[in-house]
Amino acid sequence: MLLAAGSGRRYGGPKALADTGSGPWVLHALDVLAACSTKIVVVGAAADAVTALVLGRSTIAVNPDHDAGMASSLRVGLGAVPDDVDAVLVMLVDLPGVTAAVSERLLAEAGPRPRGALIRAAYGGLPGHPVLIGSDHLDALRQSLARSEPDAGGSRHLTANGVRLIECGDLADGADVDRPPGSDQDD
């Protein structure tokens, strides 16, 4: 699942459409999820433009409340997940330094029966994305998201349920990009 619904206020526009030299970030992020058999892209801001880029490569889930925060997009995306999945790999669109090798490592760590897995990529020991959520956790995560503050539900569930961090700093740069290159503003 790719969360690509934000308006990118700090960036100056939707980061799904950002291009820092190798194409729109939404396409890069879909490539990161190449090992996943089903891909869901949650769109919101610039939904038509983002959808046009990914149509035919993924299922589209529209978040009409994308301004409410990332948790609202996660809720929408989880609502589009088929009942028969073993796990969901959640990726954010604004991580242009993450590579498909990271997803492949998380999937390998989950093993052939990932239903109980709860695994998160780490970079230099710090939690990052993507996050692999086994299907045994999906109902509880949905409930956590329904009760939580706009951007806290997913993280709270991961922490409360013993998410396992898998170091991926040797494979990629997991930096979340909030400002355009050359911007001198602090986050």
User: Where are the domains positioned within the chain?
Assistant: 2-167
The residue behind tokens 């194409």 is 23
pTM over 0.75: yes
**Which of 136, 138, 40 lies closest to 91 in space, CA to CA?**
40
Q: Which residues of the chain have pLDDT under 70?
A: 148-153, 183-187
pLDDT number for residue 186 = 42
The C-alpha atoms of residue 66 and residue 74 are separated, in whole angstroms, by 10
pLDDT number for residue 187 = 40
82: which DSSP letter? -
CATH superfamily, domain 2-167, is Spore Coat Polysaccharide Biosynthesis Protein SpsA; Chain A (3.90.550.10)
